[in-house]
Structure 1
Amino acid sequence: MTAYVVLGIITLPIILMYIWLLLNSFTTQMKYGVIPTNLTLDNWQFIWSDVVINGTEMPSIWTATLNSFLFAGSLTILELIIGVMAGYALSRLNFPGRQGLLKTTMLLHAFPSVALLIAVFYILNFLGLFDSLWGVILVKTALQIPMTAWIIKGFFDDVSWDVEWAGLIDGCTRFKVWYTIVIPLIKPGIAAVAIFAFLAGWSEFLLLYTFILSDENITLAAYLQKLMSNPNVINYGLLSAVSIFYMIPVLLFFIFTQKSLMQVNATGGKGV
């Protein structure tokens, strides 16, 4: 009981902030900063019409939403494909440099992306991928793979070698054993990593803000930044509404995938 009381006290300010955000999105004025007055749906007009701020027309919210889904979805798919194969190799195969790679994997993930911005700019510009969603997707994937491979390795470590040997004795190839026997056994791990990858892509801002300039490639995170670009003319009601709109897909995604998320094993250290 004491634990629930402590957790309730700690989370109460966060809950109140979200309640304030919701109320502010349906009003034009907050009396004393906390009491909503003049209820309206005007703050949600971005859903059915274009938004004009200080004479400047904002990009379509649906373009930003589609780009956000494209970015997060593509990142998830690439991260899973590469991460699952890399995790299996780190768990099962003995190759030169394996121990050194295992020891530096987490270091690569911990390296701050902001320190790489200049190098990434030169690479994307050289490849012709500057101001391209696919260019940022590749960069974000490369930054996420070390952590993904480490987590997936932990799940592969929990699968007994006997399972694979049984498949090989029955005449299956190494690939068939991996695809038809081992992969189904680590579905909870794959699901959990997919959730983390999607959330990382959905919430990404720094790389997109730095390397995406055109409105046709804008995402919801950058859309929110545009709303706050001029601190003298911020429409806080509109900003609150767009913020809630931005959170809705993540909340729905978490509600339907929380069981898989709770099963994640992030140790990745067994069998090193």
Structure 2
Amino acid sequence: MRSRSNLFLIAILALISTPLVIMYVFQLIDSVSRPALGGFLPQTWELGNWRFLWETIDSARPSIWRVTFNTFVFAASTALLVCAFSITAAYALSRLNFPARRFFLAGLIMLHAFPTITLIIAIFIVLQFLGLYDSLIGVILVKAALELPFGIWIMKGFYDSVPWEIEMAGVQDGASRFRVWRELILPQVKPGLAALLIFSFLAGWSEFILPLVLAPGADAQVLATYMNAVIADDMRPDYGLFKAIGVFYALPVIAVYLLFQKQLMNIYGGGTKG
């Protein structure tokens, strides 16, 4: 019975996923071919749509490699900031009994559920005041701050799953609280930290709204806004080029998922104690 139910579930998931797979397959085919006029089947095979790899598409736009570097810096910096603050804040919420602890826990859930777009005007004004508008650093700080509630909540669950006895044994042996955290507790939550690092990197890599609104200049452009600029050219739209850039944009995400899918699954493996 269990085998039949698993097969039924797999069949349902395959049926739902088939249209998405077909669209991705056609996007890949269209990126290396030119369809017939008014059709969708490939007529000729060519690599002209991938010319952005070795030449600049437009003098007004930066090189694709500069944009890719910006995207990597944006995603990696966001992931590192989220993890650095989450592992310390989550430990305090999990292990320390301080006033208004429940208020902070409830606030984390509210901040995570709060729609980002409603804060965009306030964030714009703050960045203007700080002189960080239209800069990659400003967008990194904003994205990291918005991802922090999720990261802290996830890491708190992993800290909650670590038995108190491990920490108490280290304290009784004369180690400081910081040394116990670094040498005994932190190794226990490494799977969650790895999952959060990858998840935050992917969240930064796929971000579109924040770079579009807060860093519209060419110097801070990322791949998501670069694609938007390509398709927004009403005078000479090149859909083949757009699809090729889309495949190029998706390749690192696919590679990360294939290499680290087990670590990504660990993000829901933490405890749930309050």
Q: TM-score, normalised by structure 1?
A: 0.95
Aligned partner letter, 1:181: L
Residue by residue, what CA displacement relative to the aligned partner does 1:184-218 show, whole Å, maximum 9, x if unpaired? 11111111111110111001110100011221211
Q: Which of 254, 257, 261 matches 1:258?
A: 261
| 1:180 Cα deviation after fit | 0.9
CA contact (8 A) 2:76 2:201 kept: yes
1:234 counterpart = 2:237: yes
1:120 counterpart = 2:126: no
Aligned partner letter, 1:80: C
Residue by residue, what CA displacement relative to the aligned partner does 1:156-178 show, whole Å, maximum 9, x if unpaired? 00000100011111121100110
CA contact (8 A) 1:136 1:208 kept: yes
Quote the Cα distance in structure 2 between the aligned partners of 1:22 and 1:65. Answer: 20
1:45 counterpart = 2:51: yes
1:99-110 map, 5 Å: 99-110=102-113
Question: Gaps (5+ residues) in structure 2?
Answer: 1-6
Corresponding residue of 1:22: 28
Residue by residue, what CA displacement relative to the aligned partner does 1:122-142 show, whole Å, maximum 9, x if unpaired? 110111101111111111111
CA contact (8 A) 2:75 2:202 kept: yes
Quote the Cα distance in structure 1 between the aligned partners of 2:40 and 2:183. Answer: 57
1:174-213 map, 5 Å: 174-213=177-216
1:140 counterpart = 2:140: no
Corresponding residue of 1:149: 152
1:5 counterpart = 2:31: no
| 1:35 Cα deviation after fit | 1.1
| 1:232 Cα deviation after fit | 4.9
Corresponding residue SS for 1:239: helix
1:172 counterpart = 2:175: yes
Residue by residue, what CA displacement relative to the aligned partner does 1:56-105 show, whole Å, maximum 9, x if unpaired? 64321001100000000000000000011111011000111101111121
Quote the Cα distance in structure 2 between the aligned partners of 1:104 and 1:87. Answer: 13
Corresponding residue SS for 1:171: coil
CA RMSD of aligned residues (A): 1.4
Quote the Cα distance in structure 2 between the aligned partners of 1:255 and 1:267. Answer: 22
Question: Gaps (5+ residues) in structure 1?
Answer: none
Q: Which of 66, 70, 73 matches 1:67?
A: 70
List, as ranges, runs of 4+ consecutive aligned residues in structure 1 with deviation greater than 4 Å: none
Aligned partner letter, 2:17: T
Q: Which of 214, 217, 242 matches 1:214?
A: 217
| 1:267 Cα deviation after fit | 6.7
Corresponding residue SS for 2:267: coil
Quote the Cα distance in structure 2 between the aligned partners of 1:216 and 1:143. Answer: 23
Quote the Cα distance in structure 1 between the aligned partners of 2:53 and 2:149. Answer: 38
Corresponding residue SS for 2:165: helix
CA contact (8 A) 2:86 2:151 kept: yes
Q: TM-score, normalised by structure 2?
A: 0.94
Aligned partner letter, 1:211: L
Identity among equivalent pairs (%):
43
CA contact (8 A) 2:155 2:270 kept: no
Corresponding residue SS for 1:6: helix
Corresponding residue SS for 1:117: helix
